[in-house]
Structure 1
Amino acid sequence: MTCSACTNTVDKAISGIKGVQDCTVSLALQEARVFHQPDVRPADLVSAIEDAGFEAKVGERTTLQKIESMRHQSELERLRQSLTQASLYSSVIFAGGVAVQYFGPRSVLESQVISVARQFTLLVAVLALCATAGGWIFSSALEALKAGRANMHTLIAASSTLGIAISLSNLARDGLSHPQTYYDTVAGVIFIVTAGRYCDILSRRQATSTFVGLYSMLHESAVLQIKGTKRQVQASMLRAGDEVMVEPFALVPCDGYLVQGSTYVNESIMTGESMPITKKIGDFLYAGSRNGPGQIQVVVSQDEGGSFLNRLVKAVESSLVSKVPMQQNVEIITNYFVLAVFVIAGLAGLRTWKQLGSLPVLAQIDAVGRQVMTVLAAACPCALGLATPCAIMAGIDVAWRRGILLMDGGRTMEALQHITHVVLDKTGTLTQGLLRISEIKYNRTWEGKEKELAVLVCAAEEHGASSHPVGAAVFRALLQVAGDAWKEFKDTSEAVGLDEIPGHGVKCQVKLTDGKLRDVVVGSRTLVADTLRACGSVLEHATYDEGLYVFVVVDGELAASIVLKDTARPDAKTTIDALKARGYHVSMLTGDNKDEARRISNLLGVTVMAASATPETKLKHVQDLIAQGHKVAMVGDGMNDGPSLAASDVGIMMAHGTKCLSSGGGVLILNSQLRSISTLLDIAAKTTRQIKFNVGWALAYNAVAVLLALGAGKSYGITITPPIAAAMMSTSSVSVTGLGLLLRRRLLNDGWAADE
């Protein structure tokens, strides 16, 4: 597949099969993902794609194969061979044709034997050129013809075939000594188109270089030592609960938390943040981050297949297959583009035939052929097909480099142009999410048994701590209180019956070393009050300083109350002011109490839409705004606001572990910087403008190229020959790809300037 016209053809071929529910086709990855009913046979899918003129295989490809697709290694190698062959045969054709014609001895040229040998050699050379160097062009054109469609290669193949046919016609007309042949023209056309394709692929490979680095992490094999043994295993064999040693400067293979040692890790490939991040006991590490100089001991919380890195890669794949609504209009044009060019070429030929009606028939055929060849070689539908994908790829790539993943790609960029309201969550969004425990009050029953209680709390929070800032803060602090008791617990027992209540907390049962099964509840005032009420108790009202309250209930009795404090992000106020300056209506939704909501509101100057809001309440507020005709961007952490993120026009998530990747949002901010919202809006606006410019440029360029090929520039001294027309064709697609690279560079420079 070379452009969006090809992906659209494959999409239509697959979607036309009865039982196919959905299909996404990726130009960058050269693959299609199909959702279908059980009765759809894989062979039917392959047959439909092959009937459309493309090769296909069923099955999930390896990471290495996907890397090769984005690097275009096999295609670049084939094009290099084609260029070598084209150079060789072109040298023969130009030496035996033009050079001998103008510089060869006249006696030699008039020799019958030499003339026959020369013309035969030139014909064999040009046919060999078409079969070898131009084989990929003619093969693509033939496959398209079998499928009942036409593409750019159809135009080149038709132009080249016509050139050879006219040359043979002129041989019959002029004889062997001084015939008017177009072998050099055919050679020039094929060489230029091949060179243009090579440059185009190199440009596209550069555009996907960042994502290749991400995929390479999945391909990088890791062997780790299991704690307490000399046994070493592959990372793919690790399971949740395994304790492994991660060596200095090694890649972290799975999601987990640190239980021994301290280090700093590099997460730049995922977050765009170049500075290493310090990690201590209780902190979570994500697969794909690279360890620093310290050896550390890590407990695996998620195996390799379900790791943050693995799910992040799948999200990247989704971003590369999305389409902008504008692209659908372009695809309608490209579907009829080649047919229109053939019609124009035919009409131009008829006009030339009529204008030269007084010449002999063979001379008219020669003139008509030259005109038709020139028109066919001038126009390029791929320029239109690449206009949207090249700009989108540049935008996605730069956003990724700035720590932003556009999971819905171009659709999100276009949707952002219509946003009127920005609704922000508080914890982990407007605040840093780096909560610290300011106070723990133990019930008398648990005084002196703090380690035992800490183990119970850690057992309850371990599963969700990697994906929620409150759970992470509680887990991290109490893990240090538990000390060696936690390791003993992990060796003998685990939490069962885990029940996470979004926006409130967690319930489970935990068996300690004494063999007794304990009911544990860790969560908000509402959850704990309901639990105690069910047990016949009442949660007494307590007053704390401003902060978040977390309560612990064990076997129906309040065991402890924990107060956590968070601070507003340093860029929160400037981001809110910048959004207001852009004309957006900015408000806040939070599950925290009214006092905490009021504190943040006064500090940052943001309107409180609702406090103590449950996920259902947040969803209703977003739906109400949309019902009033507003376009809403919801910004949250993907935990307690998943439904509202999914319901909004654009859902923007601040990364807090793996769950944020499946929370319904279309944008994931990996670098945890709130100012990235402004960066996102800038990238989306500039990319959308570039798409419109690219489409306009491609249409205008092709229109001018065809007009010049029709002779519109003759009165100004501009004459277009088939090789020049072919150069114009190649330049059109290369220029569109180049515009994408220029957009990429411009966006990167804008980002650096903003950082400074």
Structure 2
Amino acid sequence: MTCASCVARVERALRRVEGVRSASVNLATEQATVEVEPGLDLLRLKAAVEEAGYEVAPAQVTLRVTGMTCASCVARVERALRRVPGVLEARVNLAAETATVDYLPGTVSVADLKAAVEAAGYGAEELRQAEEAALEREHAAELRDLFRRFVFAAAVAALTFVLTMLAAYTRHHLVTGIGPVDRLIEALAHPVALAFGPNPFLLNLLLLVLATPVQFWAGWRFYRGAWGALRHRTADMNTLIAVGTSAAYLYSALATFFPGWFVAGGVVPDVYFDTSATIIALILLGRYLELRARVQTSAAIRKLVGLQPRTARRLINGLEEEVPVEAVRVGDLLLVRPGERIPVDGVVVDGASAVDESMVTGESMPAEKVPGSRVIGGTVNLAGALVVRATAVGEGTVLARIIRLVREAQGSKAPIQRLVDQVAAVFVPAVIGVAGLTFVVWLVFGPQPALTPAMLRAVAVLIIACPCALGLATPTAIMVGTGRGAELGILIRNAEALERAHRLDTIILDKTGTLTAGRPEVVAVYPVNGLNAAELLRIAAAAERRSEHPLARAILRRAEAEGLAVPEPAEFRYRPGWGVEAVVDGRRVLVGSDRLLAEVGVDVDGLGPSLEMARSRGQTAVFVVVDGRLGGAVVLADTVKPGARDAVGAFRRLGLDVIMVTGDNQQTARAVAAELGIERVFAEVLPEDKARVVRQLQAEGRRVGVVGDGINDAPALAAADVGIAVGTGTDVAMETADITLVGGDLRLVAAAIALSRATVRTIRQNLFWAFIYNVVLIPVAAGALVPFGGPALNPMLAALAMAFSSVSVVSNSLRLRRFRPPVAA
């Protein structure tokens, strides 16, 4: 909204929605207050505003969700959150245990969202950056609890297994050899036979006593999760484990107390307490290893949070006091000693030093800081003491924004995840159906007595099915990939951008500020028509005084360095891609490109040889027109960025076509392109026309990435399949570009594309394993190979395979932590 008519238009649009009692729009706060009838779908209000030509900016909150175990849980929590009136979108990340919710501001409270999650059977708390340490402690406590329960379950499972095997020996004389192992088994079996005699009841009773605490204490989390799912008429991973182990446990309990029932039916009353206990032990081990690996996937976030200092040294009237960093306010003066982290973003007002910014920008070389230099909170002051004036604190610092961006990226969903979500929604009910069908088929058609093998194969199906691997395949890879990117100074906006980046086949590079250093310097001044060099430079600097263009800044710097008095222009107008128009000392002055000269009908007579020489060297001429006559030209040169040549070579090795698109003239553009080895060049292209070049390439079937500074390149960045902003970590581009490089090293663009390819490759490997595992092993567990002479899968082996499946997926994702850029930055 820009004016009162916008306000009226939005109010009319809202009032037309059936069920709206009143609507009031505030232009200053950019907020609409709407009174509605109960039951109105609030998304209709959003649609009404958008139909009127405006946008509703959603609010966002991140919740920590506890109690999730598999992809079915993810689907259930997302459904619960999306049902809350006012919620626009909800994305749940199983690996991070978070839910990111977009909602209409003022319509939903965090309490409403927490209540929805809790009603679905899970726990929820708002996640703030300051709570990372507490979250880490919770994970440590959960790991200790899992390990304790696993050790107990494993010890009991081993004991029950040994007792069961020895009892089988005494009953069936299974060992007939005379080797040392046979003699050892016989020696162990003898006291078992003496203690329990030929009647198996006492031994079975002991096994029951041993297995019961494993079933209901060590395995309590599975029952709790299954009950929560049942209350909401659904099923999840816990349901499969609880039903499968309970079936083996209850079958064995019945065989212990009512063996006659089994004998009457022609079934040997064997017990399987060792099976249920071993299954629980193995699954607890898998959960422990999986959680430990999942904690490692969020190491990048913890590392970034760890950069934030706890305290700051504030200077008041020359006196130093140590205060919590939360107490620092914008404008405060802070003392930073050598070896200390800079508490918040700021500007150096006194002192000089070198600052290590590698953990934030990815730049390995320390940055020199002098009065006037900007510093980033969380970076390390290496040499001299600095006095810094705070310019951003709390959530407004670069580091806080990076953490938020990384967390949002890690919580986002890749398009490929949609297929997984659809499968997960029906996976557990389908497995329960397959297990039931397996039991019935083997009971009816299997060789008699069929009850025991039917039960064991149904249990094996329930246990071997692994929705966990499906749920973890994509988010763990995205978490590790985006986290590794953040460590390198590559900020990836979301999982969709990550997935699109791996498909790129063409890279468009801007020249000024991207391929070149972006800090041009004046190398020559050519006056004509009676002006001298100093006067020409003064007039040009005055006209450019209000411009932020790098060439304008360079002209102003040179004029000030020569001690020229540069007045404020009386009028000023910026014309993108052309130049500026201003009134200086009562004279109308135009400063810009030769395109500007052509528009006003001024030729460059008298500058020909000088211009040809400058352009052949890759230098840029800025023309000055005073009251309709050519006043001369200011020639500037910009150096190629360190690493730009390496970056272009890396793009080629990645199979990318490299194209330079610039507003500069043909000669200058081709001189720089030749130096870098770029063959295809679009020169003299206006900012709005850069987007047209992008669309032209896309029409040829290319997938185009645009690399720019996020300012003049904004239209092209928006039109590209992937927009990559370079060296704008403190700018708005961090919030809008698909990928942002906090530092200015172009080699990190190649690293970002290589990282996206490695991440997508890992996701595909994970999904392939998760799908193939379930597709192949569920039929094997059901006994599909038995009629053909193949093996039947023991439920204990099924539990081992299931635990291995989840752990292998997470471990494969963790390999991305070792990702190395294709060319060192």
Q: TM-score range by the shorter chain?
A: 0.7 to 0.9
**Which amino acid is the alignment partner of residue 139 of structure 1?**
R
Q: 2:493 aligns with which of 377, 391, 407?
A: 407
**Which amino acid is the alignment partner of residue 12 of structure 1?**
R
Aligned to 1:8: 75
Deviations 1:177-198 (A, max 9, x none): 9952222211111110000111
Tell me, in whole angstroms, the C-alpha distance in 1 between the residues paired with 2:779 and 2:706: 49
**Which amino acid is the alignment partner of residue 683 of structure 1?**
L
Aligned to 1:207: 297
**Which amino acid is the alignment partner of residue 468 of structure 2?**
C
- Are 2:103 and 1:52 equivalent residues in the alignment? no
Distance 1:717 1:597, change over 3 A: closer
Q: Does 291-300 or 79-88 show the bigger shift?
A: 79-88
Q: Tell me by how many angstroms 1:70 deviates.
A: 10
Tell me, in whole angstroms, the C-alpha distance in 2 between the residues paired with 1:547 and 1:253: 42
Question: What is the 5 A alignment of 1:180-579?
Answer: 180-218=270-308, 220-226=310-316, 228-355=318-445, 358-359=448-449, 364-409=450-495, 411-435=496-520, 529-532=580-583, 537-539=588-590, 565-579=637-651
Deviations 1:194-215 (A, max 9, x none): 0011111222222322221002
Tell me, in whole angstroms, the C-alpha distance in 2 between the residues paired with 1:123 and 1:476: 87
Aligned to 2:797: 724
Deviations 1:540-581 (A, max 9, x none): 7898967578999xxxxxxxx997642112432343355456
Q: Does 590-599 or 135-144 show the bigger shift?
A: 590-599
**Which amino acid is the alignment partner of residue 138 of structure 1?**
Y
Q: Which runs of 5+ in 2 are unaligned?
A: 1-67, 169-188, 593-603, 625-632
Question: What is the 5 A alignment of 1:111-130?
Answer: 115=201, 119-120=204-205, 122-130=207-215
Question: What is the 5 A alignment of 1:547-696?
Answer: 565-580=637-652, 584-592=656-664, 596-604=668-676, 605-611=678-684, 613-614=686-687, 616-626=688-698, 630-662=702-734, 664-696=736-768
State the identity as a percent.
31
2:591–2:622: 8 Å Cα contact kept in structure 1?
A: no
Q: Does 417-426 or 585-594 show the bigger shift?
A: 585-594
Aligned to 1:159: 244
Q: Helix, strand or coil: the match of 1:588?
A: strand
Aligned to 1:18: 85
Q: 1:703 aligns with which of 744, 753, 775?
A: 775
Identify which of structures 1 and 2 has the higher relative contact order when contacts are C-alpha pairs closer than 8 Å and 6+ apart: 1
Distance 1:283 1:43, change over 3 A: closer
Tell me, in whole angstroms, the C-alpha distance in 2 between the residues paired with 1:228 and 1:641: 45
Tell me, in whole angstroms, the C-alpha distance in 2 between the residues paired with 1:562 and 1:255: 36
Q: Tell me by how many angstroms 1:124 deviates.
A: 4.2
Distance 1:255 1:391, change over 3 A: same
Tell me, in whole angstroms, the C-alpha distance in 2 between the residues paired with 1:250 and 1:658: 22
**Which amino acid is the alignment partner of residue 373 of structure 2?**
D
Q: 2:229 aligns with which of 144, 161, 178?
A: 144
Deviations 1:89-127 (A, max 9, x none): 446645776567745454531499x956x6555434433
Q: Tell me by how many angstroms 1:471 deviates.
A: 9.0
Q: Helix, strand or coil: the match of 1:377?
A: helix
Q: Helix, strand or coil: the match of 2:686?
A: coil
Q: Tell me by how many angstroms 1:733 deviates.
A: 0.9
TM-score, reference length from structure 2: 0.73
Q: Does 542-551 or 159-168 show the bigger shift?
A: 542-551
Aligned to 2:36: none
Distance 1:740 1:707, change over 3 A: same
Deviations 1:648-671 (A, max 9, x none): 210111123411544521112234
Tell me, in whole angstroms, the C-alpha distance in 2 between the residues paired with 1:439 and 1:473: 12
**Which amino acid is the alignment partner of residue 392 of structure 1?**
I
Aligned to 2:813: 740
Q: Does 568-577 or 181-190 show the bigger shift?
A: 568-577
Q: Helix, strand or coil: the match of 1:21?
A: strand
Count of equivalent residues:
692
Tell me, in whole angstroms, the C-alpha distance in 2 between the residues paired with 1:19 and 1:170: 55
**Which amino acid is the alignment partner of residue 456 of structure 2?**
R
Q: Helix, strand or coil: the match of 2:80?
A: helix
Deviations 1:375-426 (A, max 9, x none): 21112111122222233334323433433222223x2232134334322122
Tell me, in whole angstroms, the C-alpha distance in 1 between the residues paired with 2:70 and 2:83: 20
Tell me, in whole angstroms, the C-alpha distance in 2 between the residues paired with 1:719 and 1:592: 73
Tell me, in whole angstroms, the C-alpha distance in 1 between the residues paired with 2:145 and 2:555: 57
Distance 1:581 1:60, change over 3 A: closer
Q: Which runs of 5+ in 1 are unaligned?
A: 483-507, 510-517, 553-560
Q: Helix, strand or coil: the match of 2:388?
A: strand
Aligned to 1:558: none
Aligned to 1:489: none
- Are 2:824 and 1:755 equivalent residues in the alignment? yes
Aligned to 2:103: 36
- Are 2:241 and 1:174 equivalent residues in the alignment? no
1:70–1:205: 8 Å Cα contact kept in structure 2?
A: no
1:263–1:293: 8 Å Cα contact kept in structure 2?
A: yes
Distance 1:278 1:721, change over 3 A: same
Q: Tell me by how many angstroms 1:157 deviates.
A: 0.6
Distance 1:198 1:472, change over 3 A: farther
Q: Does 720-729 or 429-438 show the bigger shift?
A: 429-438
**Which amino acid is the alignment partner of residue 582 of structure 2?**
T
Tell me, in whole angstroms, the C-alpha distance in 2 between the residues paired with 1:585 and 1:70: 48
2:478–2:759: 8 Å Cα contact kept in structure 1?
A: yes
1:431–1:566: 8 Å Cα contact kept in structure 2?
A: yes
Q: Helix, strand or coil: the match of 1:56?
A: strand
Distance 1:354 1:130, change over 3 A: same
Distance 1:115 1:353, change over 3 A: closer
Deviations 1:518-556 (A, max 9, x none): 98979899898423289653247898967578999xxxx
2:340–2:381: 8 Å Cα contact kept in structure 1?
A: yes
Distance 1:99 1:251, change over 3 A: farther
Q: Helix, strand or coil: the match of 2:641?
A: coil
**Which amino acid is the alignment partner of residue 40 of structure 1?**
V
**Which amino acid is the alignment partner of residue 245 of structure 2?**
S
Aligned to 1:555: none
**Which amino acid is the alignment partner of residue 639 of structure 1?**
I
2:314–2:332: 8 Å Cα contact kept in structure 1?
A: no
Q: Helix, strand or coil: the match of 1:148?
A: coil
Q: Which has the larger radius of gyration?
A: 2
Tell me, in whole angstroms, the C-alpha distance in 2 between the residues paired with 1:125 and 1:469: 77
Distance 1:529 1:390, change over 3 A: closer
TM-score, reference length from structure 1: 0.80
**Which amino acid is the alignment partner of residue 660 of structure 2?**
M
Tell me, in whole angstroms, the C-alpha distance in 2 between the residues paired with 1:314 and 1:729: 34
